[in-house]
Structure 1
């Protein structure tokens, strides 16, 4: 089987730990002949510490599937939002006093890194191992992912992005937090690509996730498993099963019961 895991709130706890019990269960699944992949909304630099703990060179995808790495570390797909579109969306945000973050490789370009109300959101973009730089409006950059935060960010920026760029993927996490990735930069497309890369049929794929960005991944997999009490309600409705959070060894217990016992 191909076992595909989201990171945060799926196998990584709220305080950013990958529990030893989950590490060991995944390692045992690999020894039993199953293949492991990770698909996360984190950027590559922020995902690598966990990939190292899992001893996973590939395959994996980051930035919600905007970058997909193969089993030998090769790039299978890279999708970026063009600079002109980044510039227009950032300008729209600035005019409405919506804060933003442009993720490009290992750099986070932000409008105001000291904006107090968004400190938690900047943490959630996982700035570990990454450089945070104030965006110079004179510089034109592409983006692996755009993040917008602030009052009515979802209502204003989310709708604007969906209307102006219908081919892009828009994730409305809350009324004050929105992510945008390029065309086909989603976990479902990434999972299909990884499965073809490894030679797995759809019927042999199991996916674990918790967030709105995991919807396409669980929809594509033959068996989808929602994780944790905070799992997105649409994801829970879509999933075949709903298991405990990583703090309570949900994934480890499922692997033990269904694949390792």
Structure 2
């Protein structure tokens, strides 16, 4: 990857990246983002969470612009509370894909994110939410998942690891859907060809920015397309090995404010924080002095 020319766009995943394990934002991260924005950079949240599940976080961040949600299936305008762009996962294709996966690995438990700015997360019996703080509505049977248009399906297996379930799903789903792993206990089916990179590219184009202007942060395999698209990709210390393999640098963990560590180096320190860590996690290709 080429280094970004001026880091005009900062794209951050949420879970395992910008957020701490308790779903909170540190004061240090908020201060680093604010300093970058005062310097003229734009911050864009790029998350697997659907738009209705990120509104309060966007408020905490002071985001009144765009956010890429639903693994790239949604570009959401926070100020206008509307979708600028969205792609639905065909429900018949989703059912067919689920059938193929279960024929390969046995019973799985499923949930769906409904499309739209007010869409719900529905979970079938046996499915356990990986983030207990996120609201969900339990339905009585799988057929109830398909009551309204959806943006994606979430899967869990009672025994297989996330990596094993992802690999098995990819081996049988083919072009029915894109299979990705976005976090512990979170394997997902999304519209074929849709990734965080496709959503980020649309949002960046809307803002008049380019890949080479972009620095992206992530922690899981679903962030691989985004880091490959961006001019400079940063993996967290807690990131999945698949993401670290494509990253231009590895920063500290989400619990240790890894996003802030990099932003403080690029846009200057805040009250002297992070100088020692910034030296430890020097980039491979990007070199911008504070």
Work out whether the TM-score is over 0.5: yes
TM-score after normalising by structure 1: 0.85
Alpha-carbon distance change, 164 to 71 in structure 1, aligned in 2, over 3 angstroms: same
Partner of 1:224: 233
Partner of 1:29: 36
| Structure 1 residue 159: Cα displacement | 3.5
Is 1:101 matched up with 2:111?
yes
Partner of 1:171: 180
Alpha-carbon distance change, 43 to 60 in structure 1, aligned in 2, over 3 angstroms: same
| Structure 1 residue 163: Cα displacement | 3.3
Provide the aligned length of Structure 1 versus Structure 2.
253
Partner of 2:12: 5
| Structure 1 residue 11: Cα displacement | 0.8
> In 1, Cα distance between the equivalents of 2:28 and 2:83?
30
Q: Could you tell which deviates more after superposition, 33-42 or 141-150?
A: 141-150
Alpha-carbon RMSD across the aligned residues, in angstroms, is 2.6
Is 1:211 matched up with 2:220?
yes
| Structure 1 residue 193: Cα displacement | 0.9
> In 2, Cα distance between the equivalents of 1:11 and 1:33?
20
| Structure 1 residue 156: Cα displacement | 6.4
| Structure 1 residue 259: Cα displacement | 1.7
Partner of 1:134: 140
Partner of 2:261: 253
Partner of 2:203: 194
Alpha-carbon distance change, 181 to 221 in structure 1, aligned in 2, over 3 angstroms: same
Alpha-carbon distance change, 5 to 177 in structure 1, aligned in 2, over 3 angstroms: closer
| Structure 1 residue 130: Cα displacement | 4.3
Q: Could you tell which deviates more after superposition, 175-184 or 57-66?
A: 175-184
TM-score after normalising by structure 2: 0.77
* SS of equivalent residue, structure 1 residue 258: helix
Gaps of 5+ in 1: none
Is 1:20 matched up with 2:33?
no
| Structure 1 residue 128: Cα displacement | 2.3
CA deviation vs aligned residue, 1:154-205 (integer Å, no higher than 9, x gap): 6568545653442521014689752110023211111111111111122111
* SS of equivalent residue, structure 2 residue 216: strand
Partner of 2:280: none
> In 1, Cα distance between the equivalents of 2:185 and 2:57?
28
CA deviation vs aligned residue, 1:222-256 (integer Å, no higher than 9, x gap): 0001113x201121121111001122121112111
Alpha-carbon distance change, 162 to 66 in structure 1, aligned in 2, over 3 angstroms: farther
> In 1, Cα distance between the equivalents of 2:256 and 2:156?
30
Partner of 1:84: 92
> In 1, Cα distance between the equivalents of 2:34 and 2:231?
22
> In 1, Cα distance between the equivalents of 2:180 and 2:187?
6
> In 2, Cα distance between the equivalents of 1:236 and 1:75?
32
Select 1:184's aligned residue among 193, 202, 220.
193
Alpha-carbon distance change, 235 to 197 in structure 1, aligned in 2, over 3 angstroms: same
| Structure 1 residue 30: Cα displacement | 1.0
Is 1:143 matched up with 2:150?
yes
Equivalent residues of 1:171, 1:213 under 8 A apart: yes
